[in-house]
Structures are given as C-alpha cells and as structure tokens.
Amino acid sequence: MLAITMMASALTTFAQNSAIHKVEFMVEKERYEEALQIIETALANPKTTKFAGFYYNKGEVNRKYFERVLDMASQGYPFDTVAFCTYLDEAVTNFTKSHLADMQPDKKGRVEPQYKEKNYMTLKTMVNYYNYAGVFANQMGDYQKSIEWFRKYYEFPKNPVFSAAETDSLYAINPVNYGQTAVNIVMLNFQLKNWDGILETVDAALKDTFSTRDLYLMKMQAHLEKNDSAAYINDLKEAIARTEHVGFAQNLLYVYMQRNQPEEAMALANELVASNPSSHTGYYLKGCIELNMLKNYVAARESFGKAIELNPSFVDANVNMAYTFMNEVVARRNNGDWKLDRNNKQEFDREFEEIKKYYEQALPYMERAHELVPDQPKVWAAALQQIYTNLQNKQKADEMDAILSTAY
C-alpha cells in the first residue's frame, strides 16, 4: 500500500512537472492562449501542488502581453492604456503569488524555492509602471482607478519579493516620486469626497514637503465632514507649527472665540511659542488672543512686536499691531476715560491730543501694511482713512476715501 501511495504521488508530481514544461514550451512559441488554458486547468485541480511554477508562467504570459502593448506603441500604433494597466496588474499579481507559493515550506519544513530569483528580477523591472497606470487612469477621468494604481505604486516596494532593506532602498532612491504619489492619492480622494480615503494616506503624504498647506486643508475638511472637532483642532495646531501659515492661526482663533475659551486659547499660544521661540505665527496667535479675547492691548502689542521682529514683512501682524492702538481708543472711550465734551474746549483739546498719540503710533504699522500689499486696499484703506481723519490729515484721508470707493 505504501509503495502504491508513493507511486501515485510520484506520478502526480511528474504530471505537474510535465504540464509546466509544456506551458514553458508554448510560451516560448508564443502560443499564449493554449498556455493559459493548461495553467487554469492545473490551478483548478485540487491535486495541484506546483503552484509556484504555474503562477510564474501565468505571470510570464501576462508580461508578454504587456510587452506587446509597449512594442505596438513604440511602432506608432495607438497606445492601449487599458491593456497596459490590465496586463501589468495581472503580471505583478501572478509573479507575487508565485513567490509566496515558492517560499512555502514542504511537509518536512524545508524551503527550496525554484523561482525566487526569476520572480525577484522580473518584479524589480516593473517597479515604476503602476505610477504610469495611475497617470493614465487620471487622464481618462477614472479617479477611483487612478487611486488604486497610485496606491499599488506606493506600496510596491513592500512586495514580499523584496527584503526589508531593499524596501527601504527603493523608497530612498526615489523619494520625490513616492512623496508626490501620496499627495496624488489624497487629492484624488478629495475630488471624490472620500474622507476616509484622505485620512488613510494624508499623514504619509505629510511626511514630505509637497503641498503641505493644501494637505492640511484637505485633512481638516475630512475631519470636519466626519464631525471630529477634536481632530480638526489638532490638525490646526499641527499645521501652524509646521507651516507658519497665518490662515491656520486665524481659523484656530475663530474656534476658540466661538467657544469662548480664552484660557484654552492662551495655553495653546504659549505652548506654540515655548516649543518654537522663532515662530512668528505663534506670537501672532498669542497677540490675536490678547487683542480680541482678553482685550489686553499692552500685552498684544508686545506679542505682535515680537512677531514683526521675527518677520518684518508679516502683513497681518502689522495690521493687528495698528489695531491694538485703534481698539484701545474705542475701549477707553466706551469706558468713559475720554468724554470729548465740545462744551469744555480745554478738556476736549487735552483728550483729543491724547487720542491722537494712539493714532500716531498706529500709523506706521498700517502704512507698512499698505507698502507690503499695495494691491489689497481692503486690508488697509479703511483703517488708514480713520487714522488720517483722526490725525486731521484731510488730504490723505480723502485719498483713502477715493480708494475705498473703487475697492468695494
């Protein structure tokens, strides 16, 4: 009985080896469809054990079809991008299956691969093709398929055929392409409003410096759409620290103002400044909190002054520095510090001179804003008109009036 069993096993192995050799012969003779029929029959047979060989040869047929597409294009025929993508994916899938089967231990725990080197060398030549597939699908407007191909390109170095060191090396050799691909995946998911898809990839994309501001905007939008306000606030904090973009600071300030949380806002600003003393945005945020939430104009001037010291061309810091003086005038008048009683000329003149000093101090900062963004009158024209009026400079005030009449 043992002899009969061993003979049956040997015959099965012989039959499979014979089928593999027949497939190889047909591939060599370019009889690809016949080769595929034998392979599919073998793979469907429950007695088949030589999976590595059959999958390798199936991958070879796919690769031959893939190369035929490239050859036709090189001869001037229309490039069949769908066939390019399909045969590429089938080839990679089958070579990978061949490798995984090849590395399976036998009943005695031995691993004796036959196709390891062939699978490795072939897959190594196909590393970049998924990137092209992603571009082609995007050009055809198939964003979902484009995401799939770009993701496969991004994950290709992790194919089991490569060692961990080779995976790291492949990423290190071409960091620009892999970084841009991660950005592409996020942007395509954003177009499809696939919020989960964005969040799956955006942190990987943010490891590089491509489109950092836009990536944070998309990440924040995804968290807002998922009603995750805590994550949204964390995104803003991270974006401020990473980009120094004033818009993120203003958005975060708005959140805290809506919630009426000045203490929490100030704690965050102090944290930003402490973690990065050269952050002009951190000092700007601190100044905005002191100006708008705490109404501490002296402290706000100190913070905006530090922001301007770190970045003299910081438009918003200059504008808000001017407003620390202008808003303090309004606050003091509302508090009754200045009555401006025209029936008491002496007292009126004294108070008016005190008020003028505030506008005199505000003037250079708002003029600096005008100088920095001359084509954005909505930023400075109304404030300058008010300053010039209070400084009794009618000519300049009229100039601002003329600008305002065309700006709105």
Average pLDDT over residues 140-168: 97
CB pairs under 8 A, 24+ apart, for 253-262?
253/285, 253/288, 253/289, 253/292, 253/293, 256/289, 256/293, 257/292, 257/293, 262/289, 262/293, 262/294
Give the confidence band of 5 by pLDDT, cuts at 50, 70, 90. Answer: very low
The tens digit of pLDDT for each residue in 108-151 reads 888 899 999 999 999 999 999 999 999 999 999 999 999 999 99
Looking at 1.20.120.400, 1.25.40.10, 2.40.30.10, 3.40.50.2300, the CATH number of the domain 228-311 comes to: 1.25.40.10
- What is the per-residue pLDDT for 2? 45
More confident residue, 70 or 341: 70
The tens digit of pLDDT for each residue in 177-202 reads 999 999 999 999 999 999 999 999 99
The tens digit of pLDDT for each residue in 236-284 reads 999 998 998 999 999 999 999 999 999 999 998 999 899 999 999 999 9
Give the confidence band of 3 by pLDDT, cuts at 50, 70, 90. Answer: very low
Closest CA to 96 of 133, 55, 49, 66: 55
Give the confidence band of 209 by pLDDT, cuts at 50, 70, 90. Answer: confident
Closest CA to 56 of 110, 23, 98, 2: 98
Average pLDDT over residues 147-174: 96
Q: Say yes or no to pLDDT of 12 above 70.
A: no
- What is the per-residue pLDDT for 15? 62
Average pLDDT over residues 305-317: 97
More confident residue, 4 or 17: 17
Q: Say yes or no to pLDDT of 4 above 80.
A: no
* SS3 per-residue string spanning the chain: CHHHHHHHHHHHHHHHHHHHHHHHHHHHCCCHHHHHHHHHHHHHCCCCCCHHHHHHHHHHHHHHHHHHHHHHHHCCCCCCHHHHHHHHHHHHHHHHHHHHHHCCCCCCCCCCCCCHHHHHHHHHCCCCHHHHHHHHHHHCCCHHHHHHHHHHHHHHHHCCCCCHHHHHHHHHHCHHHHHHHHHHHHHHHHHCCCHHHHHHHHHHHCCCCCCHHHHHHHHHHHHHHCCCHHHHHHHHHHHHHHHCCHHHHHHHHHHHHHHCCHHHHHHHHHHHHHHCCCCHHHHHHHHHHHHHHCCCHHHHHHHHHHHHHHCCCCHHHHHHHHHHHHHHHHHHHHCCCCCCCCCCHHHHHHHHHHHHHHHHHHHHHHHHHHHHCCCCHHHHHHHHHHHHHHCCCHHHHHHHHHHHHHHC
- What is the per-residue pLDDT for 17? 67
Give the confidence band of 167 by pLDDT, cuts at 50, 70, 90. Answer: very high
What residue ranges do the domains of the chain occupy? Answer: 228-311
- Amino acid, res. 407: A
- What is the per-residue pLDDT for 75? 93
Give the confidence band of 7 by pLDDT, cuts at 50, 70, 90. Answer: very low
Q: Give the residue carrying structure tokens 């600003």.
A: 269
- What is the per-residue pLDDT for 13? 55
Q: Which of 10-24, 31-45, 285-299, 375-389 has the lowest mean pLDDT?
A: 10-24
- What is the per-residue pLDDT for 161? 97
Give the pTM: 0.81
- What is the per-residue pLDDT for 58? 97
More confident residue, 50 or 159: 159
Give the confidence band of 354 by pLDDT, cuts at 50, 70, 90. Answer: very high
Indicate the average pLDDT of the chain: 92
Q: Say yes or no to pLDDT of 40 above 70.
A: yes
- Amino acid, res. 188: L
